[in-house]
Structure 1
Amino acid sequence: MPQYKAKLKDNIDRLGSQLKQRCYRVNDIKRIFIPKSNGKQRPLGLPTVDDKLAQQSVSQILQSI
């Protein structure tokens, strides 16, 4: 995240360009496991910053419609 924030404008411009050109590809989701109280583990998927920004942008557009 700190590397993304350091070049925030460039990263947002790149992401916007990829979305407009329809060449954006979703990145692999980081999988971690959270321990549960019964001793088992629950899988949790963490999307990348680009994926979260794209999802939020689409959500805002759809909500305004």
Structure 2
Amino acid sequence: MGDTPRSPTISTQNQGIASQVARESGRDSDKRLTNAPPILVGESSLVRNEALAKVDPGMVFTSLAHRIDLSLLGKSFRELRKNTSTGVDKVTAKEYAANLDDNLYKLHQRLQRGQYVASPVKRIWVDKEDGKQRPIAIPALEDKIIQKTAPGRVYQPQEVR
């Protein structure tokens, strides 16, 4: 797959991180054979993308999924309201948190491979004072996590009726 229009080259900071990861993965070759999620140091965000967009408003971002990492998914999960209703997946935040590292790792892998598909949302109707009804959409928990990682909607879920 080719570059996106006006895609920036890798920064020297990212080059250093990539070479460090490559060196460490060579030393820990037996660790790579397990399906355990990697241990991350530090925390990243999409702040760099926001800065790039401010510097060059004409820059094209076709997808942000490759910019989302495990630490950002973890931060998004921690920021979620845990007492909200469940979506069509019927998974509560407490159930998801029981095996959080593994769940986030699997979600991250699906994002990186382009295999993540947003679940349909659960639609409920709330009565208004004027007698009309207002629709409310409740996304699945993983969809909420991903939506929290970036401003705006990265994935558009379909409605379940």
For this structure pair, what is the TM-score category when the shorter chain's length is used for normalisation? Answer: 0.7 to 0.9
1:17 alignment counterpart = 109
Equivalence map 1:1-65=2 (5 Å): 1=92, 2-59=94-151
Residues 21-53 of structure 1: CA distance to partner in whole angstroms, max 9, x if unpaired?
110001010111111001221110011111111
- Equivalenced residue count is 59
> Which of 1 and 2 has greater Rg?
2
Could you tell me which amino acid in structure 2 is paired with residue 50 of structure 1? E
SS in 2 for 1:37: coil
- Structure (1 or 2) with the greater strand fraction: 1
Q: Counterpart of 2:134 in 1: which secondary structure?
A: strand
Gaps of 5+ in 1: 60-65
Q: Choose between structure 1 and 2: higher helix proportion.
A: 1
Structure 2 residue ranges without an equivalent (≥5): 1-91, 152-161
Structure 1 segments, 4+ long, off by >3 Å, are: none
Q: Percent same amino acid at aligned positions?
A: 36
